[in-house]
A and B are shown apart, each in its own frame.
Chain A
Amino acid sequence: MAYVVEPRDPLTQSEGVVAGYAQTASRWPAQPPARRPPGPAELSGPARLERRLPLGRADLAGQGGKRALGQLIEIRARVVDEDGAPIQGAMVEIWHCNAAGKYIHPNDANDAPEDPNFYGAARLLTGDSGLVTLRTIKPGAYPVPDSGGWWRPPHVHFSAWGRVWLSRLVTQMFFPGEPLNDHDAILNAVREPAARSRCIARLVPKENILAYEYQMVVRGRNAAPKMG
């Protein structure tokens, strides 16, 4: 059975140039992208990426006196393909700001405090059910500079790999019930409401922690077997 990657419905994806996000008009190509039939270079993909990218940190919240400030949460993120088949051993990169809305990054000029007990970057491999579990704190909202009052809602960045080159996914996870979700230029660049709502995690309270479940569907599926 061959693994295939078919074109997506553009309404389920982000628009290239987005009103209210000025940089998109300087960076998104003006020419329409060319369609190409996927070949061996597109339908193969990097395996065991941990040979090049070292793994690290499944716990960003810390313990005891080294606990990061903020609401303790657990994110259970699953990587599946378009058949719903879990991707095992897939690399997942996760990064987010601290509870005050500050990233550990030299380009973050937001006037919010750093948290010495928080480092917001994790790199994990999915287990048998395509799952990664991250213990962390809920990120804060923050203002986007020179944007006329755009605040990013709390969100978590994800970068994931699937079975083949064309399965690569970089996206953001949002939290349910956040008023800022309705006004975010990035979330609302996805035109179809159902596709947008799939970018919002589901709250599953547990005994000692607020858990959020989130699913990433990476591109590709097995072609239906031919009859006869």
Chain B
Amino acid sequence: MKLVPTAEMTLGPFFPPEFAAGANDLTRQVSGEIIEITGRVTQLDGRPLDNVVLEIWQADPQGRYDNPDFLGWGRAATNADGVYWFKTVKPGAPYINVLILYSGLMRQLQTRIYFDRGEADERLVAIRDGPGRYRFDIRLRGEAETPFFDD
């Protein structure tokens, strides 16, 4: 038996604020290089978007995805300036997976945050903003649109 995956639908504008809060710090109970990742999410006309939900999934500093003591998953929502913020550890892997959920996005968008150019598209490389600080802006549509993935 092979079932067809359920159709994704938009998160809508009324995702409970309590669901979006309090899950953007991944650094409890882990040792490694603490980093902050922040950025702005904008739409076609450049307007920053409020209440965009971003979820991340990453390896621990040793590159493991199944470390029982480190949950490499977090969620953040953008503020009125379109800005999100994560505090985490630098993964022992080239990139962090990001998915974006929002009103008017009919399906989740998937992208990646890389830390070094390597073979990555340069638009997917976070900009080093200072010690332990990275910036990764997301442009959903329009000029300098962020590359997204479909699997």
Contacts and interface: CB of A to CB of B under 8 A. Distances in A.
B108 to A, nearest CB: 6
A144 B86 CA distance: 32
B102 A27 contact: yes
A63 interface: no
A48 B147 CA distance: 30
A105 B71 contact: no
A29 B14 contact: no
Interface stretch (A18-26, A65-73, A129-137, A203-211): A18-26
Interface in B1-45: 1-19, 23, 43-45
Contacts, number: 201
Interface residues of B, number: 60
Given A33-B150, A35-B149, A218 B66 contact: no
A226 interface: no
Given A26-B141, A157-B11, A166-B151, A95 B19 contact: yes
Contacts of A31: 145, 147-148
Given A34-B150, A35-B149, A42-B97, A195 B57 contact: no
B104 A27 contact: yes
B44 to A, nearest CB: 4
A97 B14 CA distance: 9
B150 A171 contact: no
Nearest to B51: A107
A198 B1 contact: no
Interface in A1-43: 5, 7-9, 12-16, 18, 21, 23-36, 38, 40-42
Which residue, of B1, B6, B11, B148, has the highest number of chain A Cβ atoms within 10 A? B6
Interface in A155-200: 157, 159, 165-166, 168-172, 186-187, 189-190, 195-196, 198-199
Interface of A: 5, 7-9, 12-16, 18, 21, 23-36, 38, 40-42, 44-49, 51-53, 80-84, 93, 95, 97, 103-108, 120-121, 123, 157, 159, 165-166, 168-172, 186-187, 189-190, 195-196, 198-199, 215-219, 221
Interface of B: 1-19, 23, 43-45, 49, 51, 55, 57-59, 65-66, 71-75, 93, 95, 97, 99, 101-110, 140-142, 145-151
15 contacts: A24-B106, A26-B140, A27-B105, A30-B142, A34-B147, A36-B149, A36-B151, A41-B65, A41-B95, A81-B3, A95-B14, A168-B108, A170-B10, A170-B108, A187-B9
